[in-house]
Structure 1
Amino acid sequence: MVEKIITSVQNARIKELKKLFTRKGRKKAGQYILEGPHLVDMAIQAKADIDMIYYVPESSHAHIEKFKSMDDNLPFTQVTPEVAKSLSQTEQHQDIFAVATLPEAKTIDFDHLNDAVLILDQVQDPGNLGTIIRTADAFGYRDVILGKGTVDLFNDKVLRSMQGSHFAVNTYELDLDEAIPALKAHDYFIATTELNDQAHASNAFDLQSKGKWAIVLGNEGNGVSQLVQDMTDVSLYIPMVGSAESLNVAIAGAIVMYQFPPKS
């Protein structure tokens, strides 16, 4: 099959793709962009619905041959380095892009969630969200609830930070004032990472004895909202011996997920 070649940044298709840089544009088109050979490789392995792969032939030959061997039905379009640069949202573009269909929002089934669930309350920094999802994947937290106010999962910085882990983790966008009571009705014990007068040291608390649990991580500046705190069963803090007053939310999340690994 003869592949199409796009040589102008003014090409109508390229202009449409650049609209995917925004959340509004992604939702309207029902698509998002993955940049770089690793993310495209992960998308192919996950059997994501890929609309097109755009690449610079001079620099991407080996990767493209690999992708074609993985799935001989994948569609490809060649682009010039100038066009690739216009599609990239990084200073060092990687010359390979996949346009994939946004997955349909998952419907949560509280009866079949993992015994350990992660809840994010208005985590707004893309790098933090991506790192948290990647860490959840690494430590076996397969179900992550994204509360309202949390940054878009398909933001380009989030995608780069996740490194493909969104293909392995179930994410649900829910109102926490509905999700947390539903979890509690299904016998989940709710713990929040929040320093207050009643908080317990995380390394001295036996969360796993509760059977099923959910850990809440809060906003970078304001922590866990009062509304959510009022619905939780316990507050946990991470003991520190240095002079730092707090930890980055992604670091704190990594510590508590490591401390409390899922049982299955």
Structure 2
Amino acid sequence: MKKLSHAEISENRATLETLPDVKKLPVVVILNSIRSSYNVGSIFRTSDGAMIEKLYLCGYTPHPPKKEVLKTALGSQDSVDWEFVEDPKFIVTELKEKGYTICALEQTDSNISYTEIKKTNLPLCLIVGNEISGVNQELIDLCDITIEIPQFGIKQSLNVAVAYGIAIFELRKIYDKN
């Protein structure tokens, strides 16, 4: 077993030039009022890794060119299609009309485990909320489903960037399955 060099890893990766031709995961992500620039930057990197369709930064979510976002995004703000939109409700309504399943990553009285999503739920809009208050009820009311990552410890939730990473790569796995 030999660790791969950066050049070896990069050999089969997309570039900014080839990115438009890459088949993307049919998931649009809405970050609503995330507080931490570092969480946002981390979510950019994870979004690049999963090759999502688009990232919407909404409410008071920090966004590029804020230096703390750029520090953790490490250039992925250039490879992820993103847009700042103040009010996410318009995006949700538009995506719903286009046939997207609207899904919040949130603990509700009728959620399902993140592992129970089906390929038939794609294309999907994943709404991720604030680190403390989560996804607000107004957005939950627009959702078709809500998903949760089961917790087994004392704390009730994971860091938002960590939870997003778990959920988005589960969606990637579902999408890539034959």
Q: TM-score, normalised by structure 1?
A: 0.55
Structure having the higher Rg:
1
Matches within 5 A, 1:5-154: 115-154=26-65
RMSD, aligned CA = 1.9
Count of residues in correspondence between the two structures: 154
**2:3 maps to what in 1?**
none
SS at match of 2:28: strand
Gaps of 5+ in 2: 1-14, 18-23
Matched, 1:202 2:114: yes
**2:166 maps to what in 1?**
255
Q: Contact 1:142–1:168 at 8 Å: present in 2 too?
A: no
Which of 105, 123, 127 aligns to 1:193? It is 105
Q: Percentage identity across aligned positions?
A: 27
In 1, the alpha carbon distance for the partners of 2:147 and 2:138 equals 17
Give the C-alpha shift of residue 46 in structure 1: 5.6
In 2, the alpha carbon distance for the partners of 1:234 and 1:123 equals 21
In 2, the alpha carbon distance for the partners of 1:183 and 1:210 equals 13
Q: Deviations over 1:128-175 (max 9, x none)?
A: 000001000001113101112211321111001001001100001222
Give the C-alpha shift of residue 227 in structure 1: 1.4
In 2, the alpha carbon distance for the partners of 1:135 and 1:242 equals 25
The one-letter code of the counterpart of 2:91 is A
In 2, the alpha carbon distance for the partners of 1:210 and 1:246 equals 24
**2:93 maps to what in 1?**
181
Gaps of 5+ in 1: 1-44, 48-112
Give the C-alpha shift of residue 125 in structure 1: 0.4
In 2, the alpha carbon distance for the partners of 1:114 and 1:180 equals 18
SS at match of 1:142: strand
The one-letter code of the counterpart of 2:77 is H
In 1, the alpha carbon distance for the partners of 2:109 and 2:16 equals 45
In 1, the alpha carbon distance for the partners of 2:122 and 2:132 equals 31
Give the C-alpha shift of residue 199 in structure 1: 1.1
In 1, the alpha carbon distance for the partners of 2:25 and 2:147 equals 21
Q: TM-score, normalised by structure 2?
A: 0.80
* Structure 1 residue runs of 4 or more that deviate by more than 2 Å after TM superposition: 240-244
**2:83 maps to what in 1?**
172
Matched, 1:215 2:126: yes
Which of 159, 162, 171 aligns to 2:73? It is 162
Give the C-alpha shift of residue 210 in structure 1: 1.9
Bigger RCO of structures 1 and 2 (CA < 8 A, at least 6 apart): 2
The one-letter code of the counterpart of 1:147 is C
Give the C-alpha shift of residue 114 in structure 1: 5.8
